[in-house]
Amino acid sequence: MRTLVLSLFAFSLALSCKADPVDLLDAVAKGLIHIRIEGQGGHNGEALKISLNNKGKKPVEIRIPAGQIFEPEDSSLQNLIVLEEKSLLVEAGKIRPVGLFTACTEASDGSPAAGSAFNLAMLATGHLLAVAQFINEHKLYNDPSAQSAVWVITDKHPVTYIANAELAGFVAKSIGVAPPEYAVLHQRQANPGEPAFRHAPAALEGIFRYDLSAEQPVSFGLYNDQDQAVHYFFKGRKQMRGSHKFRFSFEIRNLPPGKYSVRLVDTAEQVIKSMEVEF
């Protein structure tokens, strides 16, 4: 019994003596660790690798928070912001490498190449920090929508560029706009040194809701500003009376940018319900 009590006491003492994690900025400022940061190629996904070097005589637990920003030594390349918080123990005299999920905060700057050198910068503030923390909490750091959400804040992209509905709703509420009813997906191609974003709409996606007072055949399509149907999602489909909801998708990569609408029409092309879209 005495042995058990002593063991429990020792365990409790160890827990009470365990130091809280030290944020990366503080750890570097206090000289607890030295760091080396380099790009792994690209700007989102696991695009950064940081090596934590503990030259001290005691282990230290380091926290790399969502919202931490890193700046490239080459100013023509993009700043990167951490989207997944990491906490890790660095033993005394050891070097601990770790990959970081990031997004870029400058859509028009060049995408970093593998081996690009980075330096530790500030922690994000305001809407940008809130978005990074939301992405971390909901484990969306490897979702393409995460990058789109960051650009809504940093580059004032439309909130309709965010495909993930939950994330789009959070960002919309944060900046004081209505949550989007559709999303515009862009082609992504970012060779090293080239801008991460170019306006190249590839697909239009959304959810459409409508009510019918009687059973009838209906069609659903994408219309340009000349009231011409450019794509049909379905045509002449018999629908029952009542409330309906469906998810739609249109390929738009070869369409000129501008204002369009998605419409549900009857057999006489009379509009039952429409929704304005823009890409």
Q: How many CA atoms are closer than 13 Å to the CA of 233, on its beta-carbon side?
A: 23
Q: What is the pLDDT of residue 11?
A: 43
Q: Do the beta carbons of residue 120 and residue 70 sit within 8 Å?
A: yes
At 18, the pLDDT band (50, 70, 90 cuts) reads low
Q: What are the tens digits of pLDDT across the range 44-57?
A: 889 999 999 999 99
Mean per-residue pLDDT, 161-181? 97
The CATH architecture to which 205-278 belongs is Sandwich (2.60)
- Residue 256 CB partners (closer than 8 Å, separation 6+): none
Q: What are the tens digits of pLDDT across the range 173-220?
A: 999 999 999 999 998 866 787 888 989 999 999 999 999 999 999 999
Q: What are the tens digits of pLDDT across the range 104-143?
A: 999 999 999 999 999 999 999 999 999 999 999 999 999 9
Q: What are the tens digits of pLDDT across the range 218-273?
A: 999 999 999 999 999 999 999 999 999 999 999 999 999 999 999 999 999 999 99
Q: What share of the chain has pLDDT > 70, as a percent?
A: 93
Q: Do the beta carbons of residue 52 and residue 37 sit within 8 Å?
A: no
Chain-centre distance for alpha carbon 204: 18
Q: What is the pLDDT of residue 194?
A: 85
Instruction: Kindly report, as residue ranges, where domains of CATH 2.60.40 are found in the chain.
Output: 205-278
Where are any strands of DSSP class E within 157-197?
Answer: 182-186
Is residue 172 scored above 50 in pLDDT? Answer: yes
Q: What are the tens digits of pLDDT across the range 64-90?
A: 999 999 999 999 999 999 999 999 999
Q: What is the pTM of this model?
A: 0.86
User: Distance between CA 112 and CA 100 in Å, rounded?
Assistant: 14
Three-class secondary structure assignment of 205-256: EEEEEEEECCCEEEEEEEECCCCCEEEEEEEEEEECCEEEEEEEEEECCCCC
Q: Quick check: helix, strand or coil at residue 106?
A: coil
Q: What is the pLDDT of residue 32?
A: 96
Q: Say what angle helices 165-175 and 144-154 make with each other, to 10 degrees.
A: 10
User: Distance between CA 79 and CA 72 in Å, rounded?
Assistant: 6
